[in-house]
Structure 1
Amino acid sequence: MSKSTRATLALTQAGIAFTTQEYAYDPHAQHIGLQAAEAIGVSPDLVLKTLMTLVDGKPVCVVVPSDREVSMKRLASAVGGKSAQMMPPAEAERTTGYVVGGISPFGQKKRVPVVIEEQALRHAQVFVNGGQRGLQIHLAPQAICDVLGAKAAPLIA
């Protein structure tokens, strides 16, 4: 497995301190983020999942703890929209340039607005997908806001 991805390159170029953590990715896992947390041996709220959504038909990247669900109503409100829904997987792959299970908020093919669950910012360090299946990036959650201009908002149901 390569530890150099578009996500790690984006963080390196931005001068952000991070480490990578490989784990045994289970393609049959129902919840990828929860499986990653278990494989790494950390609490699920420290592993943030990257979800691609559509708010009023426009792409928005959402970063939330892997053990929580996004309130689509709260998401739409956070970005000034009326309605939100999950982006179909094939569209998420085209938009990000990553495969499902390996979508990182960093280094996406197209720059889209990013919203992070505000509770995630309470942690000193979190994990986010590193841009390929079985690779997590360990970094300060504030870096997500700093590098991507992410907006912190209450998103969980």
Structure 2
Amino acid sequence: MKTNAMRTLDQLKIPYQVVEFKVSKEHMDGEEVARLVSRNVEEVFKTLVVCDKDDLVVCLIPVSEHVDLKKLSKASGHKSLSMLPLNQLTQKTGYQRGGCSPIGMKKLYPTYIHESCLEQEVIAISGGHRGCQIIIDPHQLIECINIKVGDYVQG
């Protein structure tokens, strides 16, 4: 099943690989997803959607890390950011929890990715539905939706 993320990558002629896996429970942690898609945990990035009132910001960080909202606020020019309430995720992005891809959202929101992605040949990101990951060159991902690279994790 093609998702908006895959259709967008196809339109942009950006190569990617789709890896699908069986979803065993409501919420799976990133380490489990990495194992299921046969990737090192450093290669798997989660998509987080944060907000400042009505302004949305998308952030990709390694699944084993926690976002530093102060660093992300500073980088994005916001006074303060907080996680988007889960009940608004589908309405704002078109995706559901566990299947939220930074590509192909209802709108193109300012997007940020942790700099460690540049140390990887490929990274895995959500493919647009639960149980689906897209394996992609991080440089091509950054170019395709004009992602800003920096340090957005705690520590």
Give the secondary structure class of the aligned counterpart of 2:97. coil
Tell me the distance in 2 between the aligned counterparts of 1:58 and 1:98. 17
For structure 1, the residue ranges without an aligned partner over 5 or more in a row are none
AA aligned opposite 2:83: M
Alignment of 1:1-157 (within 5 A): 2=1, 4-31=2-29, 33-55=30-52, 57-157=54-154
AA aligned opposite 2:107: K
- Aligned-pair CA distance for 1:132: 0.6
Decide which moves more: 129-138 or 142-151: 142-151
Instruction: Check the 8 A contact 1:25/1:36 in 2, yes or no.
Output: no
Give the secondary structure class of the aligned counterpart of 1:152. strand
TM-score by length of 1: 0.92
The alignment yields a C-alpha RMSD, in angstroms, of: 1.3
Decide which moves more: 145-154 or 19-28: 19-28
Tell me the distance in 2 between the aligned counterparts of 1:121 and 1:55. 28
Instruction: Check the 8 A contact 2:27/2:98 in 1, yes or no.
Output: no
Tell me the distance in 2 between the aligned counterparts of 1:90 and 1:110. 18
Alignment: residue pair count: 154
Tell me the distance in 2 between the aligned counterparts of 1:92 and 1:29. 15
- Aligned-pair CA distance for 1:28: 3.3
Tell me the distance in 1 between the aligned counterparts of 2:28 and 2:93. 21
For structure 2, the residue ranges without an aligned partner over 5 or more in a row are none
Tell me the distance in 2 between the aligned counterparts of 1:114 and 1:26. 29
Percent of aligned pairs with the same amino acid: 29
Tell me the distance in 1 between the aligned counterparts of 2:75 and 2:3. 30
TM-score by length of 2: 0.93
- Aligned-pair CA distance for 1:30: 4.9
Tell me the distance in 2 between the aligned counterparts of 1:128 and 1:90. 22
- Aligned-pair CA distance for 1:56: 5.7
AA aligned opposite 1:60: V
